[in-house]
Amino acid sequence: MPCQTISGERTSLVRKAVPEDAPKVNIYFGNLKAEGLPWFSGFAESAEACSEFIERSLRAPDRSLVLIAEVGTDVVGFLNCRRLDFMCPSASDLQHVSVRRIYRNKGLGDALMTSLLEWARSSGLRELTAAVHVKNQGAQRFLCRFKFKKETLPGGSPDYRHFLLELNGSVAEEAV
């Protein structure tokens, strides 16, 4: 997992989440909510619910991935991806990726995505999907930087834009 220095002063680390991270992840999501993102609906009601979610993900490492980005002891970024076994076993849905505002544009989002792409390739996935709120232009641009393409889904919600990344080797390699 990537480790880097931010602004020459603090070191960040991207790693897989463990159940003990739940309280810090809940604080992280509380901070995101306080930043006033209109499309953000929260993550878990409690540290216990968050811990259970992370534990479920750890029991199925080939089907789900939960990453955190840390600066010092603070969680400042989060990524959650889950395999779409019920629809398409070779695809996974990027359900959430975010970085606190004060840490954006410092490479943490890129580090989270690079780790995701490494996991996807090693898991034999062929596609990654994502749905992003129409007001979240920053996330849409971010996904496009990683070669995600906008998709139109019949009957899809008008509040969300759908994205697809085909992992045929060359596309994923270019995205990193």
Tell me the pLDDT tens digit for each residue of 25-38.
888 888 888 887 65
CA distance 128 to 91: 6
Question: Percent of the chain having pLDDT more than 90?
Answer: 38
pTM above 0.75?
yes
What's the rounded Cα separation, in Å, for the pair 139 and 77?
Answer: 13
Summarize pLDDT for 46-100 with one digit per residue, the tens: 667 777 777 777 777 667 899 999 998 899 999 999 887 666 768 888 988 999 9
Nearest C-alpha neighbor of 128 from the set 64, 68, 67? 64
The candidate with the shortest Cα–Cα distance to 114, out of 54, 28, 61, 172, is 172
Ordered by start, the domain boundaries in the chain are 3-175
Rounded Cα gap, residues 107 and 84, in angstroms: 28
Q: Which CATH number fits domain 3-175: 3.20.20.70, 3.40.50.10490, 3.40.50.11540, 3.40.630.30?
A: 3.40.630.30
